[in-house]
Amino acid sequence: MSAGFLLVLSGPSGSGKGTVSQGLMKENDKIVFSTSVTTRTPRPGEVNGDNYFFTTIEEFEEMVKKDELLEYAFVHTNYYGTPKKFVFDEIKKGEIVLLEIDVQGALQIKKRYKEAVFIFLLPPTMSELKNRLKKRDTETEEEINTRYRNAFRELDFVGEYDYFVVNNEVKKAVEDIENIIAAERLRVKRHKNIKEQMLSERSEI
């Protein structure tokens, strides 16, 4: 069985993380999406336990106290976090666990779990990013401006990631990430017993 690993996908709000993640899930049945916990209000069409686990601030803070989160962050006036038991259970099974999270959360994971693979999703241009935020029609003008300003700050952390992918076309972005996954599956460090497996045939000579 190929070794599983944690795939962290970040990028500015509006870069298309959700759409690209859905594309990956359709193309690769070895990818398991890790549903995050959040205190924000559900958007139209979002389902609790599917898109996110929606919870109260009090419940979220209790999870933090019990060390039940792999990472958590306060982003755009709300908490977001990743339940860690699910992540590590799936990795042990050989699955790729996809985390679609904010830069703050990704940096926390990088400190605590260096075996993860980090991908930063970029828009083709920053003006296109703002257009996408407006087209979503899910935030107020003030919220859009806040997310746009934050996007420039998040760009400062691109150098902390292993790879970047430009989401100009969703299909191409998914293909690029699929190529990264294929390469990461062949990393020697994920197959520590490969030498022993090959040497076991020596007796047949």
- Tally the domains of the chain: 1
Q: Could you report the per-residue pLDDT of 133-165, keeping only the tens digit for each?
A: 999 888 889 999 999 999 999 999 999 999 999
The answer as to whether 84 is a domain residue is no
The answer as to whether 187 is a domain residue is yes
The answer as to whether 53 is a domain residue is no
Question: For residue 199, what pLDDT band results from cuts at 50, 70 and 90?
Answer: confident
Measuring CA to CA, how many Å separate 84 from each of 99, 111, 116, 132? 11, 15, 13, 31
- CATH number where 176 lies: 3.40.50.300
Is the distance from CB of 80 to CB of 72 less than 8 angstroms? yes
Q: Could you report the per-residue pLDDT of 178-188, keeping only the tens digit for each?
A: 999 999 988 87
Percent of the chain surpassing pLDDT 70: 96
- Strands 78-83 and 36-38 come out as antiparallel
Instruction: Name the pTM for this structure.
Output: 0.81
Structural domain of 99: 5-34+95-204
